[in-house]
Amino acid sequence: MLRVAVLLSGRGSNLQALIDASQGDAFPATIVRVISNVPDAQGLQRAQDAGIDTVVIDHRKFSSRTEFDEALDTALHACDAELVCLAGFMRILTQDFVEGWQDRLINIHPSLLPAFKGLDAQQQALDAGVRIAGCSVHFVRPGMDEGPIVAQAAVPVLQNDDDASLAARILRQEHVIYPLVVRLIAEGRVQVEDEQVVINVGDSSAGILLNPSLADL
């Protein structure tokens, strides 16, 4: 069983998706600790309800990002974490921390990277007028929302969408692909070669995703 730690700052809906997946008999990973930089984050309660160890490391109590990241690193090593999942963790991690967890640190972002990095990715997509948006799970690198992409899911952008409706549609797919990526990593089917992800899977070709669909025309 791969030992997974989850870092979060908010409500923890992606944490809940990981918890639900990990409770399946065949899932090859277990969540050993949930860490939040926000003492009253809802995600902490989700973890406690599932019997998962929780730790609060309040970033406001540290004089620098380096000191905060050192405390974070200590807490992760203390639970023997093998994979760290960022799930709405609203802190920029230092280069030393990221490099220390190279290819053992993943993040989920609500856009089809490399497009629309940073905050308000859904509104960025709407402002750009794209017809297809989505989410990405990637290995973390020091640059914001950069790193080898493991999986992506696409959703249509509808004509009456606002950022909230598009975000909700994307979030449903986040809950699908994040547990999938953790499972693939736990099964040893994911490798990073020359900053590209190689996944040991069969032929999963499913044609194209078209928006608007032919059925609408």
Active site amino acids: 109
Hey, what are 28's tokens? 């090859």
2: β partners: 29
CB 165 within 8 A of CB 177: no
What residues have CB less than 8 Å from 148, skipping those under 6 apart? 138, 139, 141, 192, 195, 196, 197
Dist CA 34 CA 44 (whole Å)? 7
Three-class SS state of 43: helix
Dist CA 68 CA 57 (whole Å)? 8
Place of tokens 């920029």: 92
Three-class SS state of 186: helix
